[in-house]
Amino acid sequence: MAYPPGTDFAGFTLDRVLGTGGMGTVYLARHPRLPRWDALKLLSPELSHDPDFRRRFEQEADLAAGLDHRNIVAVHDRGCDRDQLWIDMQYVQGIDCSEALEQYGPMPAEQALRIVTEVGKGLDYAHRMGLLHRDVKPANILLAESSDPEEPGRVLLSDFGVAKAVDAGHRLTSTGNFVATLAYAAPEQIQAWPLDHRVDVYALGCVLYELLTGTVPFPGNSQFETMHAHLNTAPPRPSEWVPSLPRAIDDVVATAMAKDRDQRFGSCRDLTTAAWAAQRPAPAPMAVTAPVAVTVTAPVRPVPPEPTATPPSTAPV
């Protein structure tokens, strides 16, 4: 149940609900001391009362707070109030990609590639810092409004509060504890295998497909159908939905969503570089032709008459 506007929670003044999800509710909240608005996520009571989840949440929130990148929503603080866990994050004024798709439909290729490129930069940075996201999806990609009409708005990836340390030796997530949204879940997530950064590459490939086509890659009628498709069905081709897309984009999505993670792109940058190359193929080299021989003819001059053998003589008068 949502708190009414004006509620004081952990010193923050709640204004309105920004969104709800499986883990809790996000509020627009006024900071207790600073003159700014924050996004305050309150975890559900069921999760907050789970000691294992509480330990996992606290560790992962601390790791997320160490991230500093223009394409990642900043984590400011975390805590517990009224036996309910909370995490204080940067507030981004704008809409998320899920809302954008719902309002405007599939995106032009250039716009979709720009968004995926910016998200990929944030993910690659987090991977270098030893963190996975594990739940990359349009609803977690925020499109910030720009104060400069000539500059595009920023693209930020949110919800790193459920990020996981890559170091498998310190895993807190129990086997089978499924964190990802099923529509973007890599096969190894569904099978509860140990994860690495390529789980986010797979999800980013799913996001690219959805931004281009307006639909998730595997829109099954049930969770079982969706899981079966992720495990067994070949990645769909964006060009079948949007014929104007180059066929090379199909290959990019297929590589990003390869069942075998060893066959995927090694990084998000590799994915987006290939996507841009597919969208803007290199221009064909100019044809080189042999030079045409030009015959230069000297100007024709009149030929003087042949001289006579014996010059004419004049008889004396």
Q: Encoding tokens for residue 37?
A: 């608005």
Inform me whether the pLDDT recorded for 252 exceeds 60.
yes
Higher pLDDT, 133 or 1: 133
What is the reported pLDDT for 286? 56
What is the reported pLDDT for 315? 40
Length of the chain, in residues:
317
Tens of pLDDT along 238-248? 999 999 999 99
| C-alpha radius of gyration, the chain, whole number | 33
Tens of pLDDT along 17-49? 999 877 889 999 999 999 999 999 999 888 899
Q: Dihedral (C-alpha) 155, 213, 189, 58: value to the nearest 10 degrees?
A: 30
Tens of pLDDT along 69-100? 999 999 999 999 999 999 999 999 999 999 99
Walk me through the domains of the chain, giving residue ranges and CATH numbers: 11-90 (3.30.200.20), 94-279 (1.10.510.10)
Nearest to 158 by CA among 49, 13, 18, 7: 18
At 293, give phi and psi (nearest 5°).
Answer: -70, 135
83 is catalytic: no
What is the pLDDT of the chain when averaged over all its residues?
Answer: 86
The active-site residue out of 38, 88, 135, 159 is: 135
What is the reported pLDDT for 306? 46
Please give the biggest Cα pair distance in the chain: 151
Q: Distance (Å, rounded) from C-alpha 160 to C-alpha 140?
A: 9
